[in-house]
Structure 1
């Protein structure tokens, strides 16, 4: 009996122990965290956390890292801010050094001779005939007239040639070439001052006005003339008095920037005389050598516009007299260019002629004709579209191009 009771007690103890073990194991399972409590608005402020300054109110400025002594005496590390980006500057155009003008026409002679050679070769061929009868001399006259030499100059040349050929008798090719060269030089003129006057003795700057009909390359010629002057060591101010053509001032300013010349311009459709006046004024203040004034391309049929060109001249001369008035003519227009020349000469006193596109025509005789018409010399010739294709006119180089090598 006691044995049975003991067994029951042991069983109860064992079962209880096992039950407690199971219960303990279940109690060790972690419980989910409680939901966060909503802070009480009326609760006192929390205690400062690690790193907070307990004695410094939060609304006061915090100390910077440079003001705090780091442990171990280490020096504070300055944080470098990247440099502020500078605004991009527009690059100034590179100043060009124009080609020297001395002998420029000689260097361009091959280009000139390609267009003018027909005149010289035609004359030499006719003069080389064994018998120079009246028909041959008429052909020589026709050749000269076709080249736009003009009636009066042609008659003078033919008479001179006939006289010298009669005296010469036998004619070798070399003798004929020399004879023709001498007679052509007489027509073109070798004793005329062809320098562009830009250096008056009593003042600075020299003042040059450029005139001409639309389409002759007047603004381009003004820009190229600036290069000629800069190449000869002069300083230049450009006056963009062609205010009626929208692109004229921009075009002239671009030419000026390439050689470091200052450009004076006014509002589009503004008063050209005012721009010309300001250009001379600024040229004086800057102490430059030359002021070049580009005027609007006046159609010779428009009397009002021609009168305005006269006004530009009068306004400029309130500063000082004009040293040069250059008339730009398109050599390819031939005799039509003479009509334009006459009208311009009536409005302003032309002192020199610039013949453009001379390499684009076989009518080089216009050089002779226009000089006879106006009584003023050709001073510059354009022989291409390049920036340095404007050359001082040299009669010997021109005639050599006419008759070829």
Structure 2
């Protein structure tokens, strides 16, 4: 049990979930430890923390026959701009007409970086007319352009600073009001980008952004590294926010819609060695 707890802790799912799972396993298998059954029970437990994988809220929400604004938030350095480019490419390949809006008008190089991605993807982008322009005015311009030119999706980049939460809260509130004003609806999605390698710090980021804006889903980047991404379950357990996309590499195509069953399989497939199973089976 100690070894199992250590493995689960190292996956960054947090002590709260680890202790719940550990206690449940000890209760279930107090009279014996058949490894294969423990593994199956562990999978059931992990799935239960994520609730129904077929739930509508776990799927990407796009409006039918009208513009779908997707607001993307996150601290600087987590791969927010690259994730926006990957999501844009994901939908472009599915024949959606996608527009980028450079709403991060404060970070030096943010507009230029997103512009380079737009050029590479051969999709249009709405940029500020001057340095440190009010982001809401850029978003307004982008939404009007998107609506008048029959775009399906508008991906909106936002500032990633958390030093002054009040200012960021007001900025995002203003942007949300602009979205409602132009489209008569709230954003189709508000996605928070989190780096899987940051572990439990990702939970803190999710908590902070949840205080600032209504987050509908997570984009988890760098799932290609050594990180197991247990933060997926930690955020779901604490804040009830589902993961919508995972980034699995550096290429534009290295992004996919999150699949909880595949995730749990990858998390548990190497937990028990065959020789240990053989010993427990009496072989």
Q: How high is the TM-score relative to the length of structure 1? A: 0.61
CA distance in 2, matches of 1:228, 1:300: 32
Q: Is the 8 A contact 2:168 2:212 kept in 1?
A: no
CA distance in 1, matches of 2:36, 2:165: 51
Matched, 1:347 2:251: no
Matched, 1:285 2:148: yes
Structure 2 unpaired stretches of 5+: 271-283
Q: What does residue 244 of structure 2 align with?
A: 379
User: Measured at CA, do residues 322 and 340 of structure 1 come closer, stay the same or move farther in structure 2, by a change above 3 Å?
Assistant: same
The residue correspondences of 1:317-332 to structure 2 (distance < 5 A) are 317-320=180-183, 321-332=186-197
Matched, 1:333 2:195: no
Matched, 1:314 2:185: no
Q: What does residue 360 of structure 1 align with?
A: 225
Q: What does residue 295 of structure 1 align with?
A: 158
Q: Is the 8 A contact 1:325 1:349 kept in 2?
A: yes
Question: How many equivalent residue pairs?
Answer: 265
Matched, 1:258 2:114: no
Q: Is the 8 A contact 2:13 2:200 kept in 1?
A: no
Deviation at 1:138, TM superposition (A): 4.1
Which of residues 221, 228, 253 in structure 2 aligns to 1:388? 253
| Residues 82-122 of structure 1, C-alpha deviations (whole Å, 9 max, x = no match) | xxxxxxxxxxxxxxxxxxxxxxxxxxxxxxxxxxxxxxxxx
Matched, 1:237 2:102: no
**Higher Cα radius of gyration:** 1
Which of residues 221, 224, 241 in structure 1 aligns to 2:83? 221
Q: How high is the TM-score relative to the length of structure 2? A: 0.85
Which of residues 173, 181, 186 in structure 1 aligns to 2:48? 186
Q: Is the 8 A contact 1:354 1:379 kept in 2?
A: yes
CA distance in 2, matches of 1:148, 1:187: 14
Deviation at 1:192, TM superposition (A): 3.3
| Residues 223-250 of structure 1, C-alpha deviations (whole Å, 9 max, x = no match) | 1110111122211111111111232222
Structure 1 unpaired stretches of 5+: 1-136
CA distance in 2, matches of 1:258, 1:401: 33
Partner SS state of residue 160, structure 2:
coil
Partner SS state of residue 229, structure 2:
coil
CA distance in 2, matches of 1:263, 1:352: 24
Q: Is the 8 A contact 2:223 2:248 kept in 1?
A: yes
Q: What does residue 25 of structure 2 align with?
A: 161
CA distance in 2, matches of 1:155, 1:268: 50
Q: Is the 8 A contact 1:208 1:322 kept in 2?
A: yes
Which of residues 135, 146, 150 in structure 2 aligns to 1:272? 135
Partner SS state of residue 203, structure 2:
helix
Tell which deviates more after alignment, 176-185 or 337-346.
Answer: 176-185
Q: Is the 8 A contact 1:300 1:344 kept in 2?
A: no
User: Measured at CA, do residues 222 and 340 of structure 1 come closer, stay the same or move farther in structure 2, by a change above 3 Å?
Assistant: same
Partner SS state of residue 182, structure 2:
coil
CA distance in 1, matches of 2:227, 2:155: 31
Partner SS state of residue 210, structure 1:
strand
CA distance in 2, matches of 1:163, 1:148: 24
Deviation at 1:139, TM superposition (A): 4.2
Deviation at 1:273, TM superposition (A): 0.6
Deviation at 1:323, TM superposition (A): 1.2
Q: Is the 8 A contact 2:102 2:114 kept in 1?
A: yes
Q: Is the 8 A contact 1:325 1:352 kept in 2?
A: yes
